[in-house]
Structure 1
């Protein structure tokens, strides 16, 4: 018989037992302050306290289990008013946290920008972010210099 005690699995939410889903909902309510106690949270989601305590340390949202992701991007930026601001707005729109920004002094109307982002909270894929950045009219190209934790 296999020992499942320390193994982790990625499972689609639609096949989870209802008690596990409700445990996740109750934990989310507690984390966000929408319930003041376990008793209040389980009552709001329709779960017994015993089921909550059975699953609370065993089930987590996938995003909570993923390590912090740091990506460094490099841009050739045209020297236009507001271009860096638009770049940062796109990063924020995608849920990225800006860690560092380095911009060279513009020479012949162009500056190099290196941007390090924490993408842990990103609400879309990296390819969509890169495409949105490349669609901005003041960039020649966007390069990924590094990706990882």
Structure 2
């Protein structure tokens, strides 16, 4: 029977600390701030067995996403200029907007789906999401798909 692999996107604050430390150890190895796995795990405070157990299963969201498309779902207030601020925010990170779909606002709140192409020159995806979340009038943001 084939192994069914499922992927989930989960906010950092919901992850157990060991997963975050594994990601940190991998970054130390990639940046050569740690030359061995033992040095990396010692620096972040986890065991080698924890590192080996999770190293192939946890990756930052933005890793290997360049040249891909992400689709974001939002709930936002129906206010003049808010959509323009959101689009400018994405443009400031040099991401290419592919599609936009906005529902008719109900009770002053619209649902928006936006697909963004991540280019080699695009800034950090996490920063883009955080900047959108910080806009006044944006109530909810979810990453719906990553292709």
Q: Given the two structures, how large is their TM-score scaled by the length of structure 1?
A: 0.53
Deviation by residue 1:36-72 (Cα, 9 ceiling, x = unmatched):
xxxxxxxxxxxxxxxxxxxxxxxxxxxxxx8621000
**1:97 match:** 96
Shift of the alpha carbon at 1:101?
Answer: 0.2
**C-alpha separation in 1, matches of 2:121 and 2:77:** 26
Structure 2, unmatched stretches of 5+, are 1-29, 33-64
Deviation by residue 1:67-112 (Cα, 9 ceiling, x = unmatched):
6210000000101001111110001001110000000000100000
**C-alpha separation in 2, matches of 1:109 and 1:135:** 19
Shift of the alpha carbon at 1:121?
Answer: 3.8
1:109 equivalent in alignment to 2:104: no
Question: Which structure has the larger Rg over C-alpha atoms?
Answer: 1
Kept in 2, the 8 Å contact 1:77–1:110? The answer is yes
**C-alpha separation in 2, matches of 1:106 and 1:133:** 19
| Alignment size in residue pairs | 87
**C-alpha separation in 2, matches of 1:136 and 1:79:** 13
Q: Given the two structures, how large is their TM-score scaled by the length of structure 2?
A: 0.54
**C-alpha separation in 1, matches of 2:66 and 2:95:** 14
**C-alpha separation in 2, matches of 1:78 and 1:114:** 14
Secondary structure (helix, strand or coil) at the match of 1:132 reads helix
Cα root mean square deviation, aligned = 2.3
**C-alpha separation in 2, matches of 1:143 and 1:79:** 18
Shift of the alpha carbon at 1:120?
Answer: 1.5
Shift of the alpha carbon at 1:147?
Answer: 1.0
Shift of the alpha carbon at 1:123?
Answer: 3.4
Deviation by residue 1:11-31 (Cα, 9 ceiling, x = unmatched):
99xxxxxxxxxxxxxxxxxxx
